[in-house]
Amino acid sequence: MRTGLAIRIATCALIGVVLSSTARGQTQLLSNAGFEAGAFGGWETFGPGWRTSSYSNETGSDAHSGTFGAVDDVKEGDKDEWRGISQVLPVKHGMLYSGSVWIRAFKGQDGEAMLEFQFLDKDKNVMEFKQSEAVSGDQAYTQVEIKNAEPPKHAELLAIRGIVHMTKQPGKEGNYFLFDDFELSAVSKGIKSDTDNGRKGHTPADRAKPHHQPLTTTP
């Protein structure tokens, strides 16, 4: 009886480890990274239009893997330039953080979507942020990433965020940006194997504008 229970517990523990590993075999730090409960548990959203979806048709699936993905619907007349989903974790110094997510754009002609890291101080002020390449237009699920980001000295938290940025007023067609299979892992700085390829600051389209506030809208 005890042996059977022990085996069952060991099996559950093993399954837990398998499910919480990233594609590169490192420990996945995120919960609900693939939205398979059909809900946003573990995530915070800001801005309108967020839902989970299991829809698929001949043009593609709202999930990259499994059944569900996260979708942001942008409607004609929407005013919000920035929307996002975010998961916040404590930072460990001496570690380098790498993250990725699969993003699909469907009729995403009026905006772009990307992965973002924000390093926050103890009062949740943004100290530094990095963004991946952006996905826009009509683009099948594409993986974007930020590699080996080092927390600034006094950072206490890391917010990993899926961002939707409207670069112009949304038209009649509507825009859909889809996210699935987030990954976040950390390695000790001593065993870093690749360089940081995240871009700092705003998107190229945005650099011409004066500094603006939306990236500090963490709920």
What residue ranges bind Ca ion (CB under 5 A)?
Answer: 34, 63, 66, 68, 180
CB of 64 to Ca ion, least distance (A): 6
CB of 66 to Ca ion, least distance (A): 4
CB of 47 to Ca ion, least distance (A): 21
CB of 185 to Ca ion, least distance (A): 18
Q: Which CB, 105 or 215, lies closer to Ca ion?
A: 105
Closest CA to 49 of 96, 108, 97, 5: 108
Q: Which CB, 78 or 180, lies closer to Ca ion?
A: 180
CB of 133 to Ca ion, least distance (A): 21
Q: Which CB, 106 or 129, lies closer to Ca ion?
A: 106
Rg (CA), the chain: 18
What is the spatial distance between Cα 24 and Cα 191, in angstroms, rounded to a whole number? 15
Q: Which CB, 16 or 66, lies closer to Ca ion?
A: 66
CB of 102 to Ca ion, least distance (A): 9
Q: Tell me the torsion sign for CA atoms 151, 154, 158, 159.
A: negative
Beta-bridge partner residues of 161: 86, 116
Q: Which CB, 33 or 215, lies closer to Ca ion?
A: 33
Q: Count the neighbouring beta carbons within 10 Å of the beta carbon of residue 59.
A: 8
Q: Which CB, 34 or 170, lies closer to Ca ion?
A: 34
